[in-house]
A and B are shown apart, each in its own frame.
Chain A
Amino acid sequence: MTARPFALAVELDGAGSHPAAARAAGLDARQVLEAARLADHLREAERAGFTAATFADSPLGSRLDAIQRSAFAGPLTSAIGLIPVAHAVYSEPFHVATQLASADFASYGRTGWIVGVDPDPRIAVAYGREAVGPEHAAATAADFIEVARRLWDSWEDDAVIRDTATWRYFDRDKVHYIDFEGASFSVKGPSIVPRPPQGQLPIFTDAASGVAGDVALVTSSAEAAVAAARDSGAALVWLELEVALDHAGLPGRERVERLDDVEPWAREGFGRYVGDAGGLVDLLAELAAQVDGVRLHPAALDGPLGGDLEELGRAVLPELRRRGIHTPPAVGATLRESIGLPASVNRYATKATA
């Protein structure tokens, strides 16, 4: 039996996870959104050997649409997984599912989805829908995921036949209505996009959101927390971890202090590592025995107080690779393959006739 891969992902939103990262780097509201910066960070993350890059998003706040950012990243990269947040409480499941499928095409099967489950009433009014509480939001997101999964399966892999004997471009017996009926919405289908390269995109959910996906994102590597996440139905469990590393003669602690002088870095329940690269390597080596992956949230990417991505690529991932703990994703591999999910099975696939 081959060992399950240990995945390392990096969050590439904005100028870093520290709220002062952009200001400390002297980036204004427009500069922090620049495509050229995003492209540089993506290439750096791929060179470093990360399994995946993630893109935070919310229907509130000043960010470029995360699905568009990951679609943009597709042709710029060839191995790294691309995982945007897409909101799943008030938005349209049909749109989000087809957008994600399209991003998977643009990346040749390297796209995932972090399900956003935020019931904030300000989002509800922007969409013109009734605000809901957390429980209702989780139930809606679960329905939303079900619609996406059905839509992704609604075209079988071999639905396009281009049959010049009958002049049919596709076989309509292999394209299916999904007929989803839920409490908040119903969706007829089929998808307007054929089945994406991965079939089913890997779905990531916050373990605390109460919504089940393929990969649960947890904030503690304690045995009980990991076990609970697995019991919820997730095949894989990844840990969230903030990092600020020593860089260019500046200790990580001092970088954080100086950034905190601009605006404090509030604790969001994530673990946080501040220190040298060697210590982080040891920590990740330990964690590799407890969880299936770690998503790193680097404090700052740019400017004199930045450098976390650079340091991860210089001293952390190469050492983990040398120790045989982490392997960079292969060029052309799908995200499912890179993180260790089995090939997806189509729920509508016609049984082969005997």
Chain B
Amino acid sequence: MNAPRNQIQFGVFFQGVNFSTIWTAPESGSQTDFESFRRVAQTAERGLFSAFFLGEGLRLREHLGRLHDLDVAGRPDAQTQLAALAAVTSKIGLVATQNATYNDPFDLAHRLQSLDLLSGGRAAWNIVTTDNAWTGENFRRGGYLDHADRYTHAEQVVETVRAVWDSWDEEGSPRLVARDFGAFDVRGTGRLPRSPQEHPVLFQAGDSDEGRDFAARTAEVIFSAHGAFEAAKTFAADMRRRTALVGRPADDLKIFPGQQFVLADTDAEAQEKARWVVEHQVTPATALAFLENVWGTSLQNYDPDGPLPDIDPVVEVTGETRGAGFRAQKTRDTVAAWRAQAEAENLSIREFVIKVGGRREGGIVGSYQSVADLLARYADEHVVDGFNVSPWLIPSGLDDIVDRLVPELQERGVYPTEYRGDTLREHLGLRPPLTRRGATTDAAQAPSLDLV
């Protein structure tokens, strides 16, 4: 008898930002109506997805010093929206991206724990960090954090949040937690009992060396940008090595690359659909804005269907859509390389951005059968633990994945046929939280965070 095949899982990322969500199609729905969120979450739950994921950006994106108006923007607060979704779902995990720099540690710990209890043990925190003073303009402390300190600070916030979660005492009074963050210090106690999954699951998405080590020490699930097979394989090997190096079992950290899927009955139809998708994602205006990010100046006089601009980039101005970063020499090099590539391949501005932007977005394109075969390979070689699906249409973007792809995967034995339990920790097959692996567990298997 064959051993059961290794399986992959799906999560869904309701983005609400960036150009990969198509807002121009007739079937593009509301980005704020609760029904859009309910439909995506319930469709995902029907498809046995382990998690529903919301991002967070604490300041509206700007482009060349003005609000960036070309992409979908304006989304609900993650935890509040997930609390509402907890009422209309019963199994799926609820993942809130929350900034470690601009949330107060005690407040953050309490709200996450609150969501975890409200949802019966389905909450997770996707830890992000920034030193960005520009974002700080919306908050009391402003830009208090140096760039070099952001991961150190985030790690200290995570440690504090965990200490707050662990401070509840079932019998008597909770233990006092006091921490000094340099710029401020906090003191208090946990206010809530443990949830059915002990405490919220920790997600992380950093990709730098520092970010990867932070994830290896701290997180239980890592999102990555490495969805293509070979890249995913390399990434998994690297993360498992880093995880083992800090004394955790190598499979302690689950790997979920973000991924866009374009599916159809045949490979040819899927390719055609993929062309439609990318053309709707990269509008002529988005193509120009994409280049403006690098050139640092307005390119509105250039024809999106014409060649790349012949002017030099304005490197003194940091005219970027926030989140991307370019430095002077790197910018000049990029512009030169792009011009050369566009010229060699005879690409217009828009064609070029579709090619470059499309590559950045990745994407798995094919028939239901061929994509299922491909994903079975990911499962067999354990290249990922799952994919965080980024639908390019809201709210219908998961329909074909759930109705057509999931059954193909289940037939191949590489996708769950039921939820393993009621909590997110159970769905993901996670061990107990790092701080709660008691003395009964093999010490080598469960180091305390303090030891690493």
Contact = CB atoms under 8 A, between A and B. Distances in A.
Contacts of A169: 23, 69-73
B153 interface: no
Given A74-B34, A75-B84, A64 B117 contact: yes
B186 A106 contact: no
B340 interface: no
A125 B107 CA distance: 12
A125 B87 contact: no
A279 B62 CA distance: 61
Judged by DSSP, the binding face of A is: mixed
- Chain B, interface size category, equals 35 or more
Interface string A3-32: 000000000000000000000000001100
Contacts, number: 188
Contacts of A73: 87
A270 interface: no
A167 B107 CA distance: 39
B118 A125 contact: no
Interface residues of A, number: 63
A200 to B, nearest CB: 17
Contacts of A122: 188
B281 to A, nearest CB: 11
A188 interface: yes
A308 to B, nearest CB: 24
A344 interface: no
A127 B23 contact: no
A35 B284 contact: no
Contacts of B79: 68, 99
B83 A193 contact: no
B106 A127 contact: yes
A62 interface: yes
Interface string A58-73: 0111111101110111
A72 B70 contact: no
A282 interface: no
Judged by DSSP, the binding face of B is: loop
A92 B193 contact: no
Given A68-B111, A94-B138, A128-B186, A192 B75 contact: yes
B401 interface: no
B397 to A, nearest CB: 17
Contacts of A188: 59, 137-138
Contact of A105 (B32, B117, B185): B32
A33 B193 contact: yes
B120 interface: yes
B19 to A, nearest CB: 10
A126 to B, nearest CB: 4
A318 interface: no
A193 B188 contact: no
Nearest to B287: A167
Interface string B256-289: 0000000000000000000000000001111000
A213 interface: no
Contacts of B66: 172
Interface string B23-65: 1100010011110001000000000000000000111100000
Central interface residue in B38, B60, B119, B181, by most chain A CB within 10 Å: B60
Central interface residue in B24, B77, B115, B120, by most chain A CB within 10 Å: B77
Contacts of A108: 34
Nearest to B178: A125
Central interface residue in A62, A75, A175, by most chain B CB within 10 Å: A75
Contacts of A193: 32, 74-77
A171 B283 CA distance: 17
Central interface residue in A101, A105, A129, A168, by most chain B CB within 10 Å: A105
A126 B286 contact: no
A192 B118 contact: no
Central interface residue in A68, A99, A168, by most chain B CB within 10 Å: A68
B77 to A, nearest CB: 4
Nearest to B112: A65
B188 A103 contact: no
A128 B80 CA distance: 24
A91 interface: yes
B70 A33 contact: no
A102 B77 contact: yes
Interface stretch (A179-187, A237-245, A260-268, A284-292): A179-187
A348 to B, nearest CB: 14
B69 A68 contact: no
A168 B106 contact: no
A287 B104 CA distance: 43
B430 interface: no
Interface in B97-114: 102-104, 106-107, 110-111, 114
Contacts of B119: 35
B158 interface: no
B289 to A, nearest CB: 9
A68 B79 CA distance: 8
B298 interface: no
B67 A172 contact: yes
A64 B192 contact: yes
B349 interface: no
11 contacts: A68-B111, A72-B86, A75-B87, A75-B88, A105-B34, A122-B188, A126-B104, A126-B187, A155-B74, A160-B32, A172-B69
Interface of B: 23-24, 28, 31-34, 38, 57-60, 66-67, 69-77, 79-81, 83-88, 102-104, 106-107, 110-111, 114-115, 117-120, 137-140, 170, 181, 184-188, 191-193, 283-286
Q: Give 4 closest A-B pairs by Cβ, nearest first.
A: A106-B84, A167-B285, A126-B188, A128-B184
